[in-house]
Amino acid sequence: MTTTDTPSDAYVPAPAPRLSLPTLAPEFYRAMAAVDRASRQGLEPVLAELVKVHASMLNGCAFCIDMHSTDAVKNGERDHRLLSLPAWRETPWFTARERAALALTESVTMLVPGHVPDEVYDEAAAQFDETELAQLIALIATINAWNRIGVATRLSPAAK
């Protein structure tokens, strides 16, 4: 029997990028890069990358998942923790501080009726001092903006 079906493991190229923000909106892009640098200040690099990878997974931004997973590994993160981010609540290897950051990331990323629940915010406030909590919220807001740019313009890991 002959078939013309594509094998399920065949390479499927990513959709072509739509446009280049650095080229077409350079002032905005430079401002976003500055906001990104500022949003990470005072937070541990591995924690910041975990938050960025998790938000990017929730938003389906392949470019950001690839970039921040790579950056996390460069900063000493282990593969098994990155691979288990979608099920972080069921794993024993995330600290209380990381769990609070991941829960806050989910609440801020996926705004639902009731927005960020008090218990999620209170747990983050118990793990981070006020300055760190402000930075964490800034980091989550920034990666969500980058994810929306990446998804809207069809950035792809292959487009590096």
Task: Confirm whether 105 is domain-assigned.
Answer: yes
Work out the average pLDDT over 1-26: 74
pLDDT exceeds 70 at position 6 = no
| Torsion sign across C-alpha atoms 70, 74, 75, 81 | positive
Long-range contacts of 109-114 (CB under 8 A, 24+ apart): 109/55, 109/58, 109/59, 109/140, 109/144, 110/58
- Give the pLDDT of residue 13: 77
CA 62 to mean position of chain CA atoms: 10
pLDDT exceeds 90 at position 39 = yes
Task: Confirm whether 15 is domain-assigned.
Answer: no
Rounded CA gap, 96 and 115, in Å? Answer: 22
Task: Confirm whether 17 is domain-assigned.
Answer: no
Task: Confirm whether 132 is domain-assigned.
Answer: yes
Q: Which two tokens stand for residue 11?
A: 């390479």
pLDDT exceeds 70 at position 151 = yes
Task: Confirm whether 5 is domain-assigned.
Answer: no
Q: How many CA atoms lie within 13 A of 47 on its CB side?
A: 25
Nearest to residue 146, comparing CAs of 7, 32, 12?
Answer: 32
State pLDDT tens for residues 84-116.
999 999 999 999 999 999 999 999 999 888 899
Task: Confirm whether 7 is domain-assigned.
Answer: no
Rounded CA gap, 53 and 84, in Å? Answer: 11
Task: Confirm whether 14 is domain-assigned.
Answer: no
Host domain of residue 130:
22-159
Asked if 145 and 138 touch (Cβ cutoff 8 Å), the reply is: no
- Give the pLDDT of residue 17: 82
Domain count, the chain: 1
- Give the pLDDT of residue 9: 67
- pTM confidence score: 0.88
Task: Confirm whether 11 is domain-assigned.
Answer: no
CATH number at 29 reads 1.20.1290.10
State pLDDT tens for residues 116-127.
999 999 999 999
Query: How many Cβ atoms sit within 10 Å of the Cβ of residue 110?
Result: 11
Over the chain, what is the mean pLDDT?
Answer: 92
pLDDT exceeds 70 at position 67 = yes
